[in-house]
Amino acid sequence: MAARKTTSAEPKARYHHGDLRRALIEASLALISEEGFSALTLREVARRAGVTHAAPYRHFADKEALLAAVAEEGFRAMAAQMRERMARESDPAERLVACGVAYVLFAVQHPSHFRVMFGPHFARPARHEGLESEGGNAFGLLVQCLTQGQQAGVLRPGDTLSMALGAWSIVHGLSSLLVDRVLESMGKGAADAEALAVAQTRQLLDGLRHRPQNG
């Protein structure tokens, strides 16, 4: 009887101290990594987190809300990784390379987060304000790199948003190929991610460089 009391009290203690939300997110990521999205239910996430099947509803209205929290966390962590790598460079062009490389490395290091961030899981994305905000912050770092490069005269002038979409497409495409292990047939995998990211972002940079016309 005493053991049963201790077990039932544990989820309440975690919830009181703010750990339940964290436990549910971690359980979701582990489940996605091991069994894929089809296995993800709030009941199974609760079981893995060691709480009652009703406990997730204290934080999340439904599965989509839980996935939005996972994606929001992913965008926040990815942006932090991008900022950290960009801060090492003083040259605007090199910051653009650093931004792209950090994006690819985050995807490879955190594939479950990456899949949630960009998967078709959100029927009403605008409902999740934090998700849109964090995603916008990450994209804003790329726009910032391009804007600074244009202002410094090292990147060609033009529509910055259009350039950002093109740059994002390149690094996101490479990230997806690596996360989905498509490149393994070519002998390339996660261990090659940084070298591939550097090569692709430098090709991107070469196309974006400002080349003044000689009079």
Say whether both 52 and 78 belong to one domain: no
Say whether both 48 and 72 belong to one domain: no
Say whether both 24 and 106 belong to one domain: no
Q: Where are the beta strands (DSSP E) in 120-209?
A: none
Q: Average pLDDT for residues 127-152, to the nearest whole number?
A: 91
Write out the residue range of the structural domain in which residue 4 sits: 1-60
Say whether both 83 and 31 belong to one domain: no
User: How many domains does the chain fold into?
Assistant: 2
Give the pLDDT confidence of 161-197 residue by residue, as tens digits.
Answer: 999 999 999 999 999 999 999 999 999 999 999 999 9
Confidence of residue 76 (pLDDT cuts 50, 70, 90): very high
Among 44, 39, 64, residue whose Cα is nearest residue 55: 44
Contact (Cβ atoms closer than 8 angstroms) between residue 97 and residue 202: yes
Reported pTM: 0.85
Say whether both 10 and 42 belong to one domain: yes
